[in-house]
């Protein structure tokens, strides 16, 4: 077994175990393999081991990987999980299944406008800075409600839920995941289409078990699948 394939197997077993502990179905947790800084050949290897959803953080690198001959014609889907600047939206809008890292209404507006030009409806998540660390991107939890309201009205995009990057400390992380879940419940109460607001993108290699216990529906795992980044 290749090392990516065996790591993927291990991660899936850990996900299954965390789901058992949480009393949840494995089918309710989607694994996104975060391939940033890793080669198209590595993505190909994960694809051959059955992985279909991949996460990328940097626009230029993402565009290059999309076009890579190793991946040409493969049915895989890309999630853009990095912080997305407005002026880069145009470059990725027709290549992504979901955009996770939006933390300004103006970026969602740009996504809406560019999606309309392609006749698409693009799913996205609002990123929340649950740890309130100044170094992190994400909406301040206090401005989330207002931002979500403004996003509901935009055409050609669908707000599907929330995303966060938690604190390094696992106790703090678990509390932040729990807060994100409560925030989602809250914005659902005012949503015109509450049934569409289902996603909690939270949990990475170091904290996905806590995230699953707190209701994560999408976990973003890089290191545990592809090894450490240079
Ligand atoms: C890099 C990255 C990940 C993956 O992190 P690992 O610790 O390598 O699993 C997840 N989410 C985001 C937003 C990232 O930038």
- Summarised one tens digit per residue, pLDDT across range 191-216 is 999 999 999 999 999 999 999 999 99
205 lines ligand 1 (CB under 6 A): yes
Distances 90 to 40, 100, 110, 156, 157 between C-alpha atoms, Å:
23, 16, 8, 14, 14
4-226, CATH topology level:
TIM Barrel (3.20.20)
Report the Cα 189 to chain-centroid distance in Å.
23
* Angle between helix 144-152 and 105-117 (nearest 10): 20
Residue 221 CA: nearest ligand 1 atom is 9
The domain spans of the chain are 4-226
129 lines ligand 1 (CB under 6 A): no
Summarised one tens digit per residue, pLDDT across range 67-94 is 999 999 999 999 999 999 999 999 999 9
The pTM is what? 0.97
Nearest CA, atom 10, ligand 1: 220
């Amino acid at each position: 077994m290749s090392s990516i394939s065996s790591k993927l197997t291990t991660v899936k077993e850990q996900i299954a175990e965390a789901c058992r502990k949480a009393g949840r179905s494995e089918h309710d947790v989607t694994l996104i393999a975060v391939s940033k800084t890793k080669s198209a050949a590595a993505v190909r290897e994960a694809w051959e081991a059955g992985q279909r959803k991949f996460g990328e953080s940097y626009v230029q690198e993402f565009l290059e990987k999309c076009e890579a001959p190793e991946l040409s014609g493969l049915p895989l889907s890309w999630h853009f999980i990095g912080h997305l600047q407005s002026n880069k939206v145009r470059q990725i809008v027709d290549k992504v299944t979901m955009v996770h890292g939006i933390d300004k209404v103006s970026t969602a507006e740009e996504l809406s406008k560019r999606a309309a030009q392609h006749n698409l409806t693009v799913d996205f998540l609002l990123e929340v800075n649950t740890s309130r660390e100044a170094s992190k991107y994400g909406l301040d939890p206090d401005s989330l409600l207002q931002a979500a309201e403004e996003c509901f009205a935009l055409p050609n995009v669908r707000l599907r839920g929330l995303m966060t990057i938690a604190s390094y400390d696992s106790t703090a992380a678990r509390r932040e995941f729990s807060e994100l879940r409560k925030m989602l419940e809250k914005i659902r109460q005012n949503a015109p289409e509450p049934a569409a607001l289902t996603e909690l993108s939270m949990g990475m290699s170091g904290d996905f078990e806590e995230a699953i216990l707190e209701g994560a529906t999408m976990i973003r795992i890089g290191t545990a699948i592809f090894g450490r980044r240079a």
